[in-house]
Amino acid sequence: MRTFRTKKETQTEIGLQKLKGKTIGYVATMGFLHEGHLNLVAKAKEQCDVVVMSIFVNPLQFGPNEDFERYPRDEKRDSELAEKAGVDYLFYPTVEEMYPEEPMMEIRVTKGTDVLCGASRPGHFDGVAVVVMKLFQIIQPNKAFFGLKDAQQVAVIENMVRTFDIPVEVIRCETVREEDGLAKSSRNVYLSDEERKLAPQLYQTLLKGRELIQAGTTDRDKIISFLTSELNKFSLGKLDYTDVLSFPTLNVEKQLTGEVIIALAYQFKQARLIDNVIVRVGEEL
């Protein structure tokens, strides 16, 4: 594995690989790698000749009450994990390399950000869009692999690619889960023993919502009412939100059609967990 610090050397080397006819798979991360990231690398290796990973903690997507400086960083550990997973090139730029001057323009995401987690993080997805646009331009991958654990981010990126005709295929990768169905997350370590026993029921509730749609229910309000009732039965924690939206447009549709996301956020004492499932209306059970 080779590590690059600058945009120029990254573009030069990857450009040479593309001239050789190699397909480029790309995994974007903010580091502190975990099993979810490594699963994306495995998917990229299955489909592409060369795998590029970026590690960059993007200041533009941190709000005023979110501590950019405290975000966990461990370059040595991340480099070892990336190499062991089979990454060919690691792009590890500084903030100064990515943003050498005050931007003369911005990207503003106008749809799909006032719902789900974006409702409480104004401007967050604008920052995501800017950095992903820049990274796509630097690396110019054939395929980019993103995990559906953060489905709203996947939706924003898919919509950006479609809006600006970016020649990148976005590959959705299923959420990595524990054996009992709980979505793997670094936050799970903050769950008490009782909370950990309850947490898998979040996913089971989402599956019940999916079954409702598969059985023919298309009334959004009925599904949300059912999910809310089920989630409010839990003896621990508190429901932050549950929602059912079109995907990836993230529009509110009273009568559901096409592809749909069923999502939730649930607050335990020291951990806020998010999860989702995606279903196509009319899909058989």
Condensed to tens digits (0 to 9), the pLDDT of residues 83-113 reads: 999 999 999 999 999 999 988 888 999 999 8
Tokens at 197, concatenated: 């026993």
Fill in the DSSP letter of residue 49. S
Tell me, yes or no, whether 179 lies in a domain: no
Q: What is the pLDDT of residues 142-171, one digit of tens each?
A: 999 999 999 999 999 999 999 999 999 999
Tell me, yes or no, whether 86 lies in a domain: yes
Fill in the DSSP letter of residue 50. E
Tell me, yes or no, whether 178 lies in a domain: no
Residues 154 and 219 in one domain: no
Q: For 100-133, give the DSSP string.
A: -S--S------SS-SSGGGGGSTTHHHHHHHHHH
Coil, strand, or helix at residue 207? helix
Please state the separation of Cα 217 from the chain's center in Å: 28
In sequence order, what E strands does the chain have? Answer: 2-4, 24-29, 50-55, 89-91, 143-147, 169-173, 238-246, 259-267, 272-280
Strand partners, 177: 183
Q: Is 37 annotated as a binding residue?
A: yes
- Distance set, CA 221 to CA 98, 117, 265, 276 (Å): 44, 19, 18, 17
Strand partners, 29: 55
Tell me, yes or no, whether 218 lies in a domain: yes
* pLDDT recorded at residue 284: 66
Residues 75 and 196 in one domain: no
Residues 161 and 228 in one domain: no
Quick one: CA dihedral 178, 181, 182, 183, positive or negative? positive
Q: Is 149 annotated as a binding residue?
A: yes
Domain finish residue from 140, 173, 206: 173
Domain finish residue from 173, 200, 235: 173
- Closest by CA to 223, choosing from 243, 239, 204, is 243
Give the CATH number, domain containing residue 195.
3.30.1300.10
Residues 31 and 161 in one domain: yes
* Residue numbers annotated as active site: 37
Tell me, yes or no, whether 180 lies in a domain: no
* pLDDT recorded at residue 285: 59
Helix/strand/coil (H/E/C) assignment for every residue in 263-275: EEEEECCCCEEEE
Count of the separate structural domains present in the chain: 2
Q: Is 34 annotated as a binding residue?
A: yes
Domain finish residue from 173, 201, 216: 173
244 neighbors 260 (Cβ within 8 angstroms): yes
* Statement: the pTM of the whole predicted model exceeds 0.85: yes
Q: Is 187 annotated as a binding residue?
A: yes
Tell me, yes or no, whether 142 lies in a domain: yes
Distance between CA 108 and CA 105 in Å, rounded?
10
Residues 166 and 195 in one domain: no
Residues 209 and 243 in one domain: yes
Q: Is 124 annotated as a binding residue?
A: no
* Per-residue tens of pLDDT for the chain, all 285 residues: 999 999 999 999 999 999 999 999 999 999 889 889 999 999 999 999 999 999 999 999 988 777 787 788 889 999 999 999 999 999 999 999 999 998 888 899 999 988 998 888 888 999 999 999 999 999 999 999 999 999 999 999 999 999 999 999 999 999 999 999 999 887 888 999 999 999 999 999 999 999 999 999 999 999 999 999 999 999 899 999 999 999 999 999 999 999 999 999 999 999 899 999 999 998 765
Residues 124 and 56 in one domain: yes
Q: Is 184 annotated as a binding residue?
A: yes
- Closest by CA to 30, choosing from 63, 62, 7, is 62
Residues 138 and 205 in one domain: no
Q: Is 33 annotated as a binding residue?
A: yes
Residues 194 and 167 in one domain: no
Residues 162 and 197 in one domain: no
Fill in the DSSP letter of residue 168. -
72 neighbors 186 (Cβ within 8 angstroms): no
Give the CATH number, domain containing residue 134.
3.40.50.620
Residues 167 and 233 in one domain: no
Tell me, yes or no, whether 264 lies in a domain: yes
Residues 214 and 164 in one domain: no
Tell me, yes or no, whether 250 lies in a domain: yes
- Closest by CA to 142, choosing from 171, 122, 117, is 171
What domain range is 34 assigned to?
2-173
